Structure 1
Amino acid sequence: MLILLPPSEGKTAPAQGSPVDLEALAHPALASARRRVGDTLAKVSDQRNGLDVLGVGPGLADDVARNRTLWVNPADAAARVYSGVLYDAADMGAWGDAELSRAAERVRIISALWGAVSPADPIPAYRLSMSTSLGRIGPLASYWRKHLAEELSHLADGRLVVDCRSSSYVAAWRPTGAEHVAVRVERELGGQRTVVSHMAKHTRGLLAGALATADAVPESAADLADAARAIDGVVDVTLGVREITLVVAG
């Protein structure tokens, strides 16, 4: 099984630690591509129009300023740096060595800066979205598509792929030749079913956390559905074509 996650917009900057070692991350073949994005990000973040290019407001100026010193900032496991709703629900910040070791085999976080990393990979905090068009690199989803295809297709070969990503990160790589199941979450309230972003992230996080740390992993979409039914708050599970829908109570 391979779980695909988006990064979180919210990140916790490590207080101490060595800087990132690009070749020590999962998929070291991506090191030069990561270096190019990081160098460009640092340059753009130092420009007068940096906030506009990165699509953020003045309230995130400190995050953008941190991009300027990306290569010397302290790094920590991605599981602790990413701190948004999905990651909080998965309780990744509390994972020990055993959980991180399992997750390193089962999980890839698709990132606008790193391409793909595991939760165990030490990274610094940064501010960059996959929807960004970054300097001469251009649209990041297009940039990473050509770099991720070989790396991730090889990794996914013969495995059930559980896709918890949002659309902009799906655009960077779409699995082919694998049993690929996208996770959809709906809220049921008053007999009506709707998609609620915060609740969807939370439920995907619960599922990802359970799958990443379990002793045994699903080998088919049907097994995945059984695992999803055990998630707190899930009241119904439906399998479709390359998609699984988890329904949670409103």
Structure 2
Amino acid sequence: MLVLLPPSETKRFGGRQLFSLSNLSYATRLEATRERVRDALIAVSRDEQSAVKALKLGVKNRDLREHNLQLETSGASAAIERYTGVLYDALDVESLTDLEREWVHQHVAIQSALFGLCSASDEIPAYRLSASSRLPEIGSALAKLWAPAHAGLLDGRPYVLDLRSKDYAALAPVKDLGASSNDFLEVVTRDGSGAVRALNHFNKAAKGDLVRRLALSSPSIGNREQLLDWALEHDLELTIGDDPHTLRLTTTQGAPAVSR
């Protein structure tokens, strides 16, 4: 199984390693597109006003464009450690043991707007670019560039669980990645009356909690049925959704997960 995560707008800065595009996973297939997006990002970041518009920067964070000009010198760290925010706080990878973290490295990938699909262990620098950004040198939505580059990328993977948001899923549509089977995860909450509705803010926390639970048990999962069995054993309410390729994780309001 491979779990696909979205990145986060917020990131840790610095890192102990030097960054190189050629060291990232899937380099054979993605490096040319990575170079094109990187060069376009650097170009727009050189001018403050252009960067503010293209990267949707405000008064308080416009200095983030400087990270785009220091990609090779600012330091690199594992992608799973680079991103912060609600999902990554719930995952809390730094508290995992070496064996649990190794499960994450082997079974989790992150969809970056700058680097495309990255393994959790790929060393990347801090940057500012989101899936909805428009880079003048590219002249179109990033999805139009990234989607064909990712086609067939996961050919041979038995099962993919997609936890990405819609904007990031569009960069590499899961149906085109080539895995034998896939599911999209939706998160809903059940209130005190038993009514179920879509979860907003806690959606990310529930996804991070799910990946953490997987890491803690480090299971060998190769299809949907095995994932559902695992969830049942770990008191998670994970069921088949209305769409044939959707799984539904039900939580209680304000809590990451519930028992059956």
Work out which of the residue numbers 191, 195, 200 in structure 1 matches 2:194: 191
Superposed CA RMSD in Å reads 2.0
**Correspondence 1:218-233 to 2 at 5 A:** 218-229=221-232
User: May I ask how many residue pairs the two structures share in their alignment?
Assistant: 244
How far apart are 1:244 and its partner, in Å? 0.8
| Structure 2 counterpart of 1:3 | 3
Q: Deviation per CA, 1:126-174: give whole Å up to 9, x if none.
A: 111111121222211111111111323x2xx341111100001111222
Taking the aligned partners of 2:84 and 2:233, their CA distance within structure 1 comes to 24
Aligned to 1:44: 44
1:96-122 deviation digits (Å, cap 9, x = unpaired): 543443323211111100111111111
Which whole-Å CA distance do the structure 1 matches of 2:214 and 2:35 have between them?
A: 31
Question: Separation in 2 of the partners of 1:9 and 1:24?
Answer: 23
Structure 1 residues 7-54: Cα deviation after superposition (integer angstroms, max 9, x where no partner)? 11110112x423211111111222232122112112212222211111
Change (3 A) 1:96 1:26: farther
- Whether 2:152 is the aligned partner of 1:150: answer yes
Is there any run of 5+ residues in structure 1 with no aligned partner, and where?
Answer: none
Residue 67 of structure 1: how far off its partner (Å) = 1.3
- Structure 2 contact 238–250 (Cα < 8 Å) conserved: yes
Letter in 1 for 2:108: V
- Give distance in 1, aligned partners of 2:231 and 2:208: 11
Please show how residues 19-168 of structure 1 align to structure 2 within 5 Å. Answer: 19-29=18-28, 30-47=30-47, 48-95=49-96, 97-137=98-138, 138-152=140-154, 154=155, 157-168=156-167
- Corresponding residue SS for 2:251: strand
Counterparts of 1:160 and 1:91 in 2: how far apart (Å)?
24
CA distance in 1, matches of 2:45, 2:147: 23
Larger proportion of helix: 1
For residue 239 of structure 2, give the secondary structure of its aligned residue in structure 1: strand
Runs of 4+ in 1 over 6 A off after TM superposition: none
Matching residue of 1:242? 245
Structure 2 unmatched runs, 5+: 254-260
Shift of 1:55: 2.0
Aligned-residue sequence identity (percent) comes to 34
Q: What is the TM-score normalised by the length of structure 1?
A: 0.89
